Amino acid sequence: MSLLQWSRFGGFFLLFAVLLPYSAWAQGSPNPKLVEAAKKEGELVYYTTMTLDQSRSVGDRFEKKYGVKVTVFRTGGGPLLNKIFTESRGGRHDWDIVVGRGEMVLPLIERKLITAYHSPEAKMVEDQLVDKDGYWTAYYVNSYVLGWNTKLVKKPDVPKTYEELLNPKWKGGQISLDTEAYGMLEGLKRVWGREKAVSYFRRLAALDPVLKRGNTERVQLAVAGEYPLIVAYNQTIQRMTSRGAPIDWLALEPAVTQVNPVMLAAKAPHPNAARLFYDFVISKEGQEMLKGMQRIPVRKDVEPDPPRLFRGFKIAIEDPEDYKDFDATVKQYLEIFKLR
């Protein structure tokens, strides 16, 4: 049995032996015993990659609801992972819960820094967005889609498929791509296979797209007319569309969808508060909060705003398990677009 398999087995055994009374509680209302235990602990340390104002809003709602003080630490995915590793090497285990990026999952499992937890609220989340071994549940998602400036491109002329996007008419700075859209390549490898996905990206690179980091600024530049087409997260484009900006989007199927998972610390100093917070963020109330923040919720009974953000098109999930060879994918992406 491999180290990863053993860690998964061990985490599941711990869950079964210690947490069964909590996770067996019916979905929809928190276990009173868990709430009581969390209140006795009195506090929670929450590490996250979600924006600080939104993370604090979620923490404040939880604190008001349960009387548990929430301390929020926010940074990017790489720096957050480094912080957790550095603290662990120093024998410090300060955090209870983390919301991060999919590529964080396997390193945390391999170092036994997260533990399994089968939240009763996860029953309302699609199976492909819940780890079967309980190490993570999606909190929110982002889908890569194709946006277009509605003043520069008429809707009938917008590419409707990945293949149509390769039309030579879009050559020479007509398409905006993120310099770090590694997950899109990884997701299409999962669906198409490595050879087809890499070949596609090489053909896309041959169109000489505009390469720039990030989503928000690139979308703003697309609105300003810097380029007619953009590949970006759909909720970022939708924010501008909803404000009446001259931009719209559609999904090239399958739309690669990034998972932002919630995970429980293996050595959480406040384990009951951690489980209660985990339940809260994927509860209907917690997911409705996300909807209000213009993020994409994952519960079956919470519609995104607008619903088309996660309804009506085929998706390809960036499963955290796909990140086993993520370093190779990053190098490949950088090589394809000559970013190194």
Q: Are 234 and 143 in contact (CB under 8 A)?
A: yes
Report the pLDDT averaged over residues 96-108.
Answer: 94
Distance CA 106, CA 188 (A): 20
Report the pLDDT averaged over residues 207-224.
Answer: 96
On the question of a common fold for 3-20+31-141+258-306 and 143-257+323-336, the answer reads yes
Q: Give the model's pLDDT for residue 315.
A: 94
257-300 tens-digit pLDDT: 999 999 999 999 999 999 999 999 999 999 999 999 999 999 99
Q: Give the model's pLDDT for residue 22.
A: 39
- Domain-wise residue ranges, the chain: 3-20+31-141+258-306, 143-257+323-336
Q: Are 266 and 114 in contact (CB under 8 A)?
A: yes
Q: Which of 8-12, 103-107, 310-314 has the lowest mean pLDDT?
A: 8-12
What's the one-letter identity of residue 305? D
Q: Which CATH superfamily is domain 143-257+323-336 in?
A: Periplasmic binding protein-like II (3.40.190.10)
Distance CA 76, CA 209 (A): 26
Q: Give the model's pLDDT for residue 29.
A: 79
Q: Give the model's pLDDT for residue 2.
A: 39
User: To the nearest whole percent, how much of the chain has pLDDT over 70?
Assistant: 92
Q: Which of 10-19, 28-37, 172-181, 264-273 has the lowest mean pLDDT?
A: 10-19
Q: Give the model's pLDDT for residue 227.
A: 98
pLDDT grade for 28, boundaries at 50, 70 and 90:
low
Answer whether residue 63 shows pLDDT above 50.
Answer: yes
Q: Rounded mean pLDDT of the chain?
A: 91
Q: Give the model's pLDDT for residue 326.
A: 82
Q: Give the model's pLDDT for residue 318.
A: 86
Q: Give the model's pLDDT for residue 253.
A: 98
pLDDT grade for 4, boundaries at 50, 70 and 90:
very low
Beta bridge partners of 258: 142, 318
155-170 tens-digit pLDDT: 999 999 999 999 999 9
In the Cβ-directed half-sphere of 180, how many Cα atoms lie within 13 Å? 8
CA distances from 64 to 55, 68, 163, 192, 285 (A): 14, 8, 50, 47, 13
User: To the nearest whole percent, how much of the chain has pLDDT over 90?
Assistant: 84
In the Cβ-directed half-sphere of 210, how many Cα atoms lie within 13 Å? 21
125-164 tens-digit pLDDT: 999 999 999 999 999 999 999 999 999 999 999 999 999 9
Dihedral sign, CA of 7, 12, 17, 19?
A: positive
Report the pLDDT averaged over residues 204-218.
Answer: 96
The CATH fold assigned to 3-20+31-141+258-306 is D-Maltodextrin-Binding Protein; domain 2 (3.40.190)
67-101 tens-digit pLDDT: 999 999 999 988 999 999 999 999 999 999 999 98
Return the closest-CA partner of residue 210 out of 197, 232, 227, 185: 227
Answer whether residue 201 shows pLDDT above 80.
Answer: yes
Helix (H) or strand (E) holding 4: helix 3-14
- Angle 132-319-19 from CA coordinates, rounded to 5°: 30
